[in-house]
Amino acid sequence: MAELKIILGYAAGVGKTYRMLLDGQALKAAGEDIVIGYFEPHARKETIALTVGLEFVPRRTVEYRGRQFEEMDTDAILARHPHICLVDEFAHTNVPGSPRAKRWEDVMVLLNAGIDVITTMNIQHLESLNDRVREVSGVQVRETVPDWVLKQATDIVFVDLTPGALLNRLDRGVVYAPDKARLARENFFREPTLAALRELALRQTAHEVDLRQPDAVSTDRILLHVTESPATIPLIRRGRRVADYLRADCFAVCVLPGDGLRQLSEDDRQAVERHLNFARMLHIDTRILNANDPVEALSAFAHTNSITQIFLTKPSAAGTGFFAAKQLLAMRLIRAARDIQVTLVADRTQRTG
C-alpha cells in the first residue's frame, strides 16, 4: 500500500489545510506528480492562495433530495493516477448515493491503488475518543475515523496553536465569518474546551510516534463483555483504546443462552448485533458463546485465551430478560477470574448536556 500522511489538529483554524498545501507546493517544486483531490477553502484567502499552481481533480456531483452536492471524485483520481493526492477533511461523511460512505474509505481506495495521500483531520474525529470529547466539549461528534485507520499512517504531523492564539484568529475573522464565529465562541470554541482537545491531540500524537518504535511484543490480552446495554458502545471504545496503548489483542465476547440471538427480544437482538458490528468495525475479534451461565463462559474463555483484563459495563438498576442478572455477574466474575483484572466501565454519555 502507498504512504498516508495525516496532518492532525484539535480544532478548525489551527492551520491543518494550510500545512497540507505548503507540503503540496514543496513537493511540486521538487518535481513530484501531485494533485488536489479535495480542498475545502472556508473562504480563507491565505489558504486559497496556496493552491495556485497545483492541479485540481474536478469533483463529482451527487444529487440528494433534489439538491446537488459536490464530493471528491475518487474514480477520476484513480484514472489520473498521480504520485501524491491532497485530500482535505479525512473524516467527512459523503452524501448518500456516493460509492462509499466516508471520505477515509475513498482514501483507502487511493492508497490501495498505489497513490500516496496527504490528508487532514481533528482529534475529536478519532473514534476511541468520542466519549471523552463529548465529556470535555458537550458535543457529540458524529463523523469519526476508526483508530485502525489512523495506524495506517506512515507519518502523523501535529499542527499546534495555543487556544489563546486560535481564539484571537477566530475574533479577527480568520477562521469563520462574524456570525458563525460568535456562535462558535458560545459552543465549541471555549478556551477550557480547546485546551482539553489540544491536550488530547498532543497525547495521541506522542502515542502514535511511540507505536512506530520497535518494542517487545505485549503479553496483555483484553476481553470486552458485549451485552444489549447502550453502555456497551463506550465500553468498546475504551477497551479498544486501552488495547492500542498496551499493544494488546482484543476480544469482544457476547454470552447468550439456548438458541442464542433468537432467544432475545427483538430490541435486545438488534442492540447486540449493532454492538458486535461496531466492534468489528474497530477491528476487534468478536465471539458469541452459547451458555446458560455467562460467568462460567467468560471465565473459561478468559483462562483458555490468556486474557489479562476483562471490561464489563457497570451494573445499573434496570435490566430485562437474560441480561437482568448482570447486576450479580460483575461480583461473581471478579471472584471467578481471580488473577485477571476486571474493570467496570460506567456509561458517561448521559452526564454531559
Tell whether 139 and 244 lie within a shared domain. no
Residue ending a domain, among 178, 211, 244, is 211
Query: Is 352 a member of any domain?
Result: no
Residue 321, pLDDT score: 47
Tell whether 192 and 130 lie within a shared domain. yes
Residue ending a domain, among 211, 233, 256, is 211
Residue 153, pLDDT score: 95
pLDDT value at 279 more than 50: yes
Q: Which residues of 55-94 are buried (b: 16+ CB within 10 A; e: fewer)?
A: eebeebebeeeeeebebbbbeebbeeebebbbbbbbbbeb
pLDDT value at 325 more than 80: no
Could you tell me the CA-to-CA distances from 66 to 58, 62, 69, 116, 303 in Å, in that order? 22, 10, 10, 35, 57
pLDDT, tens digit (0-9, with 9 covering 90-100), for 27-44:
999 999 999 999 999 888
Chain CA centroid to CA 89, Å? 13
Which helix (H) or strand (E) is 5 found in, with range?
strand 4-9
Query: Is 351 a member of any domain?
Result: no
Residue 48, pLDDT score: 95
Residue 267: CATH number of its domain: 3.40.50.620
Sign of torsion, CA 144 226 350 333? negative
Q: Which residues of 12-48 are buried (b: 16+ CB within 10 A; e: fewer)?
A: bbbbbbbbbbebbeebbeeeeebbbbbbeebebeebe
Tell whether 154 and 295 lie within a shared domain. no
Tell whether 67 and 154 lie within a shared domain. yes
Residue 285's φ and ψ, nearest 5 degrees, are -70, 120
Query: Is 62 a member of any domain?
Result: yes
pLDDT, tens digit (0-9, with 9 covering 90-100), for 229-253:
999 999 999 999 999 988 899 999 9
d(CA 264, CA 136): 36
pLDDT, tens digit (0-9, with 9 covering 90-100), for 170-197:
999 889 888 888 888 888 899 999 999 9
Residue 74's φ and ψ, nearest 5 degrees, are -65, -40
pLDDT value at 318 more than 60: no
The x, y and z cell numbers of residue 48, run together, are: 486559497
Which of 41, 209, 27 has the alpha carbon at shortest distance from 117?
A: 27
Query: Is 216 a member of any domain?
Result: no
Three-state secondary-structure class, residue 97: coil
Query: What is the arithmetic mean of pLDDT over 66-78?
Result: 95
Q: Which residues pair with 36 in a beta bridge?
A: 56, 86
Radius of gyration for the alpha carbons in the chain, expressed in angstroms and rounded: 23
Tell whether 184 and 226 lie within a shared domain. no
Tell whether 199 and 246 lie within a shared domain. no
d(CA 196, CA 125): 14
d(CA 31, CA 18): 20
d(CA 20, CA 10): 15
Tell whether 80 and 225 lie within a shared domain. no
Amino acid identity, position 45: K
Query: Is 195 a member of any domain?
Result: yes
Burial status of residue 232 (CB atoms within 10 A of its CB: 0-12, 13-18, 19 or more):
buried
Residue 2, pLDDT score: 94
Residue 11, pLDDT score: 94
Tell whether 247 and 207 lie within a shared domain. no
Per-chain mean pLDDT for the chain? 90
| Least confident window among 11-25, 96-110, 117-131, 211-225 | 211-225
Query: Is 322 a member of any domain?
Result: yes
Query: What is the arithmetic mean of pLDDT over 196-217?
Result: 83
Tell whether 143 and 275 lie within a shared domain. no
Residue ending a domain, among 159, 179, 211, is 211
**342 half-sphere exposure, CB direction, 13 A CA radius:** 19
Query: Is 310 a member of any domain?
Result: yes
Residue 326, pLDDT score: 56
Query: What is the arithmetic mean of pLDDT over 97-126?
Result: 97
> Biggest alpha carbon distance in the chain?
67
How many domains is the chain partitioned into structurally?
A: 2
> Residue 328: which pLDDT band, with cuts at 50, 70 and 90?
confident
Tell whether 68 and 162 lie within a shared domain. yes
Query: Is 109 a member of any domain?
Result: yes
Tell whether 11 and 52 lie within a shared domain. yes
The x, y and z cell numbers of residue 82, run together, are: 498521480
pLDDT value at 260 more than 80: no
Three-state secondary-structure class, residue 266: helix
- Domain that residue 301 falls in: 221-345
Which helix (H) or strand (E) is 329 found in, with range?
helix 326-337
Tell whether 306 and 168 lie within a shared domain. no
**pLDDT > 90: percent of the chain:** 71
